[in-house]
Amino acid sequence: MRSLRGERVSFDTHDLDEAAGVLGRFYDVRGLRSLDDRTGFRACFDNAELETGTMLVRARTWSDVSVVAELGIISVDVSVRGSIRWEHAGTAGETGGGHGLVMQEGTPVTMRRWSSGEIAALVTSRERLERHLEHLLDRTPTRPLRLGPRLDLGQGPGRSWAGLLTDAVGDLTGPGPGLWASPLLRPQLLEALLTGLLLSSEHPWRESLLTSTPTTPPRLVVQAVDAVRADPAHPWTTAELAALVSIGPRALQAAFRRHLGRTPTAFLRDVRLERAHADLQAADPTVTGVAEIAERWGFTHQPRFAAAYRRRYHRNPSETLRGR
Q: What are phi and psi of 5, to 5 degrees?
A: -60, 130
Residue 35: pLDDT band with limits 50, 70, 90: confident
Do residues 55 and 195 both lie within one domain? yes
Residue 3 has pLDDT above 50, yes or no: no
Tell me: do 203 and 93 sit in the same domain.
yes
Instruction: Select from 209, 237, 263 the last residue of a domain.
Output: 209
CA distance 137 to 208: 8
**Cβ-contact 169, 57 below 8 angstroms:** yes
Q: pLDDT > 90: what percent of the chain? A: 33
**Within a domain: 2:** no
HSE value, Cβ hemisphere, 13 Å, CA-based, for 319: 8
Say yes or no: 205 and 61 in one domain.
Answer: yes
pLDDT tens-digit map of 239-262: 999 999 998 888 898 888 878 878
Paired with 56 in beta bridges are: 48, 122
**In terms of domains, do 137 and 237 share one?**
no
pLDDT tens profile 268-315:
999 999 999 999 999 999 999 999 999 999 998 989 999 989 888 888
3-state SS class at 71? strand
Q: For residue range 170-186, list pLDDT tens digits in order.
A: 887 766 667 777 777 88
Position 1 pLDDT exceeds 90 = no
Per the CB < 8 A criterion, the answer to whether 265 and 271 are in contact is no
Residues 154 and 232 in one domain: no
One domain, residues 171 and 32? yes
91-94 sheet: strands from edge to edge: 27-34, 65-71, 108-114, 84-88, 91-94
**Domain CATH code at residue 185:** 2.60.120.10
Would you say residue 214 lies in a domain? Answer: no
Tell me the CA distances in angstroms from 152 to 134, 146, 304, one per residue in order.
Answer: 23, 16, 41
Whether residues 191 and 98 fall in one domain: yes
Instruction: Identify whether residues 129 and 269 lie together within a single domain.
Output: no
- Which residue range(s) make up the domain with 261? 219-321
Residue 1 domain-assigned?
Answer: no
The total domain count for the chain is 2
Does the pLDDT value for residue 129 go beyond 80?
yes
197 belongs to a structural domain: yes
Shared domain for 169 and 288, answered yes or no, is no
pLDDT score recorded for residue 276: 94
Domain final residue pick, 209, 238, 264: 209
Domain at 254, CATH number: 1.10.10.60
- pLDDT averaged over the chain? 85
Q: Are residues 140 and 235 in the same domain?
A: no
54 vs 89 pLDDT, higher one: 54
Q: Residue range 108-137: average pLDDT? A: 86
Residue 233 CB-density burial (10 A; 0-12 exposed, 13-18 middle, 19+ buried): exposed
- Cα separation, 307 vs 81, whole angstroms: 46
pLDDT tens figures, 57-101: 998 888 888 888 887 788 899 998 888 888 887 788 888 878 899
CA 121 to CA 125: how far, in whole Å? 13
* Residue 204 within any structural domain of the chain: yes
Q: Is residue 67 part of a domain?
A: yes
Evaluate whether 236 touches 268 at the Cβ level (below 8 Å). Answer: yes
Query: Phi and psi dihedrals of 96, rounded to 5?
Result: 90, 165
Question: Among 209, 228, 253, where does a domain finish?
Answer: 209
Q: Are residues 198 and 124 in the same domain?
A: yes
pTM beyond 0.75: no
Residue 187 in any domain: the answer is yes
Would you say residue 5 has pLDDT above 70? Answer: no
Instruction: Please compute the mean of the pLDDT values over residues 102-107 and round it to a whole number.
Output: 83
Binning pLDDT at 50, 70 and 90, where does residue 226 land? very high
Using pLDDT thresholds of 50, 70 and 90, give the confidence band for residue 34. confident
The C-alpha atoms of residue 187 and residue 166 are separated, in whole angstroms, by 17
Report the distance separating Cα 225 and Cα 218, nearest Å: 11
Q: Is 140 contained in some domain?
A: yes
- Separation of alpha carbons 64 and 70, rounded Å: 20
* 195 and 242 part of one domain: no
